[in-house]
Amino acid sequence: MNVTLRGKRQHHRTVSFDALSNSVVLIEQRLLPHEFRLVKTRDYRETAEAITTMVVRGAGAIGATAAYGLAQGARAFRGSRLDRFETHIEAVYQTLKHARPTAVDPVNAMNAIREEMAMGETVSERQDIAFAAASRFAEEDVEHCRALGEHGASLIQDGMRVLTHCNAGWLAFVDIGTATAPIYAAQAAGRKFHVYCDETRPRCQGASLTAWELAQQGISHQIIADSAAGFLMSRGEIDMVIVGSDRVLGKTGEVANKIGTYTKAVLAHRHGIPFYVAIPLSTIDWDLGSGLEIPIEDRSGDEVLGAWGVIPGKSGKLGKRVYVRIANPTSTARNPGFDVTPPELITGIITPHGILKPKALSKLRGKR
């Protein structure tokens, strides 16, 4: 997407790769919306740490980051023995796989790359294959998101009020995004509508990231407290909900997404409001048979007990980024990062191949 920096509009991708320095290049999302900065991770361990600490976040973005991280680790290997190379690749894979356990995109991306790498007869060939396959995954991520926009744009008509949760925009993918893809496509078609961005506690990705994206794109929007959505629905002020997902079970249609998504689905169902989930194919898990099997990430309680922000600096400029405790000093917190929404609460899943009912995802098996 295009970003306006110091009066100049420039195109950026959330994730890219610098082959010369063997570095993964990321937008430092923890600094947004106050500062736009690109960072480079120098090896696969730094790349995994960037995923864990949410320098980069969002299903497709961490999928592409893990894909590039696997290629980065492969390219860093020195030697010609395939057995040692494969031992090294397994260590790289496991490090990146466990960086954030709920999302399935990183695992799907790396598994596909490793299958292709097995066709190489030498270490050098496998290194080249890894880089080419990672780059192809990133390009497919963009194309899938573009297709999501084409299929979902017709859902958004003039005058509609759309609710989003967390950030499933271009910052959560290589470009364009999933939940935002129909929004951007509807804007390109000339439609006028309004978006409500859930703040999305505790990290507030809706308030800091989705709102920043929409502001950059010139789309009418407002930030609301997570707990305000039900009130607006009861007053007839929300017409549709679109969210993304970190893992969708192909066998059952269950959707794992940012904590609070299930609550919004229940509220939408109660008020007869369409609830859509937008995903690329890399987000589908074809193995697990129940949402109870999805590993739900438990994050630090500090995210609930406090908040990050930027204090005013001198001469009206922004100062340093600081953490502020907002909770009772002696209390602790539990902080599950995701929840699971059952298929009966979902109107449809927007995919690169059209809008499907959650239990009809089997039609997509084997597609790219």
DSSP H/E element including 110: helix 105-117
Q: Hey, is 317 helix, strand or coil?
A: coil
| Contact criterion met (CB below 8 Å) for 273 and 313 | no
| Amino acid (1-letter code) at residue 129 | I
Residue 336 DSSP symbol: B
Phi, psi values for residue 255, rounded to 5°: -120, 120
Residue 332 DSSP symbol: -
Sign of the CA dihedral with 154 first, then 352, 337, and 271 last? positive
- In sequence order, what are the residues at sequence separation of 6 or more whose Cβ sits closer than 8 angstroms to the Cβ of residue 93? 70, 110, 114
Q: Hey, is 173 helix, strand or coil?
A: coil
Q: Hey, is 321 helix, strand or coil?
A: strand
Residue where the block lists tokens 């010609």 = 80
Q: Using CB atoms within 10 Å of the CB of residue 311, give its burial: 0 to 12 exposed, 13 to 18 middle, 19+ buried.
A: exposed
Catalytic residues: 246
Q: Using CB atoms within 10 Å of the CB of residue 128, give its burial: 0 to 12 exposed, 13 to 18 middle, 19+ buried.
A: middle
The three-state (H, E, C) secondary structure of 27-50, written as one string: ECHHHCCCCCCEEEECCHHHHHHH
Query: Which token pair is 114?
Result: 């490793």
